[in-house]
């Protein structure tokens, strides 16, 4: 059973994350293509730590000053003047409960921008204090943008039940297939699939067919245990037009 995303996908995700830390377009990092994933991760962590260290005192003072203000006021100032990257750094300095209080006053699209720039541990801490509705709204924005790299950071830290509940609000049935490629904690995928109702799995398989996502689907299937593989095999017999690759991966008889 595969336990990590393929190297190409993992390298792409690492480059996207590094580009976001450096606030540059991904194409500006094409010259880093020869680096392996572990080196790119190390580089990103060093860059993020350096940027954090550079203005740590100033950011700490801003976070402390923000605690004096009503959550709505500090949230409005943060959104209007600080921009998503600085807010992502500030969120990491706040108690998650306080950050979640402020998040309730912030526009969903801006929250999606912040999530795209936040570290995985910040997303993990903050999302545990956000309402399901807010998580669903943020997810819908990220799915619309096809920002599967950011969405993948929710998988693992958030319980499978929460992820399944979030997905109920997402109309794009293949989203989970595209996200799965980028999930580093791939063992988290089987419990999520197990919580998707049968009709939802059939919709997922239909979307894989319609969006020509056979390779991506095979990657997801490779993360599933025997129980879920058998279930998908059974459900796949009700879905017409699946590619030979998908049918073969699930062991569907011709």
Partner 1 sequence: MSGTDELAAALGGPVPAGVEQLGDAAMLQLASLVDGAQARQSAQLEDAVRDGLGHVPRPLRLLVKKMLF
Residues at the site binding partner 1, with contacts judged by CB under 8 A: 21-24, 28-29, 31-32, 34-36, 38-39, 42-43, 46-47, 49-51, 53-55, 58-59, 61-62, 64-65, 68-69, 73, 76-78, 80-83, 85-86
Q: How far is the CB of 185 from partner 1 (least distance, A)?
A: 23
Q: How far is the CB of 109 from partner 1 (least distance, A)?
A: 19
Q: How far is the CB of 205 from partner 1 (least distance, A)?
A: 40
> Please, what is the end-to-end C-alpha distance for the chain in angstroms?
24
Helix 37-54, helix 56-66: angle, nearest 10? 70
**Between 58 and 199, CB nearer to partner 1:** 58
**Between 19 and 120, CB nearer to partner 1:** 19
**Between 16 and 51, CB nearer to partner 1:** 51
The neighbouring-strand residues paired with 158 are 155
Vertex 142 angle, CA 136 and 146, to 5° = 135
What are the distances in angstroms from CA 210 to CA 100, 172, 201, 222, 234?
Answer: 38, 11, 14, 21, 20
The neighbouring-strand residues paired with 155 are 158
Q: How far is the CB of 125 from partner 1 (least distance, A)?
A: 22
In whole angstroms, give the CA distance from residue 25 to residue 9. 18
In whole angstroms, give the CA distance from residue 205 to residue 234. 12
Q: How far is the CB of 86 from partner 1 (least distance, A)?
A: 6
**Between 65 and 245, CB nearer to partner 1:** 65
Concatenated DSSP letters of 29-80: GGGGTTS-HHHHHHHHHHHHHHHHHHTHHHHHHHHHHHTTS-HHHHHHHIII
Q: How far is the CB of 53 from partner 1 (least distance, A)?
A: 7
**Between 79 and 152, CB nearer to partner 1:** 79
Query: Phi then psi for 94, rounded to 5 degrees?
Result: -95, 155
In whole angstroms, give the CA distance from residue 148 to residue 68. 36
Q: How far is the CB of 161 from partner 1 (least distance, A)?
A: 37
**Between 31 and 199, CB nearer to partner 1:** 31
**Between 64 and 212, CB nearer to partner 1:** 64
């Amino acid at each position: 059973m595969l336990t990590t995303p393929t190297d190409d996908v993992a390298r792409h995700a690492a480059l996207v994350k590094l580009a976001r830390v450096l606030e540059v377009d991904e194409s500006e990092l094409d010259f880093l293509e020869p680096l392996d994933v572990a080196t790119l991760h190390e580089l990103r962590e060093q860059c993020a730590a350096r940027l954090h260290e550079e203005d740590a005192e100033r950011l700490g003072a801003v976070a402390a000053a923000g605690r004096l203000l009503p959550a709505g006021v500090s949230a409005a100032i943060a959104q209007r003047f600080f921009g998503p990257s600085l807010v992502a750094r500030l969120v990491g300095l706040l108690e998650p409960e306080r950050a979640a209080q402020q998040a309730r006053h912030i526009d969903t699209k801006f929250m999606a921008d912040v999530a795209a720039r936040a570290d995985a541990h910040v997303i993990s801490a903050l999302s545990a204090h956000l309402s399901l509705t807010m998580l669903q709204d943020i997810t819908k924005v990220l799915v619309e943008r096809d920002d599967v790299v950011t969405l993948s950071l929710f998988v693992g830290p958030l319980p499978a039940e929460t992820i399944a509940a979030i997905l109920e609000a997402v109309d794009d049935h293949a989203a989970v297939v595209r996200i799965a490629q980028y999930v580093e904690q791939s063992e988290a995928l089987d419990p999520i699939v197990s919580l998707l109702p049968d009709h939802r799995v059939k919709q997922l398989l239909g979307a894989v067919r319609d969006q020509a996502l056979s390779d991506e689907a095979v990657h997801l299937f490779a993360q599933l245990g025997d129980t879920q593989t058998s279930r998908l095999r059974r459900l796949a017999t009700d879905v017409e037009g699946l590619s030979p690759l998908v049918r073969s991966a699930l062991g569907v008889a011709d």
